[in-house]
Amino acid sequence: MKKVFSILMIASFSLLISAVSFAQDPAPGTKTPVIRGRQAEQQRRVRKGVRSGELTRGEVKTIQSNQKEIQKEKVEARSDGTVTGAERKEILKDQNKASR
């Protein structure tokens, strides 16, 4: 039951991130391929951790919460039409912190 719950949580999180990512076609200057790649890698690692039983429900919730915050930062950075170097640096710093 725990495994099914965890898999459902990961699947719903993945769908949420995918929906937000594809909801808008980013304008030039707002593309974030490195950040998007890091998000995809984190999702892969979480799925692997859930499958292997290495992650608990609490850990999955914490990871999901961190990823939602990073996604919000990314959307906010894009909102003015340009993702600045400082915004990219801040998002990457948060991704580094969340990946530990």
Q: Is the pLDDT of residue 72 over 90?
A: yes
Res 39 pLDDT > 90: no
Residue type present at position 81: G
Residue 72 tokens read as 């919000």
Dihedral pair phi/psi, residue 53, rounded to 5°: 85, 10
pLDDT grade, residue 82 (50/70/90)?
confident
What is the pLDDT at residue 28?
57
* Confidence (pLDDT) at 89: 92
Average pLDDT, the chain: 81
**Is the pLDDT higher at 35 or at 20?**
35
- Answering whether pTM is above 0.85, one says no
53: left (phi over 0), alpha (psi -120 to 50) or beta: left
Q: Which band of pLDDT confidence, cut at 50, 70 and 90, is reported for residue 34? A: confident
> What pLDDT does 13 receive?
65
Whole-number pLDDT of residue 36: 85
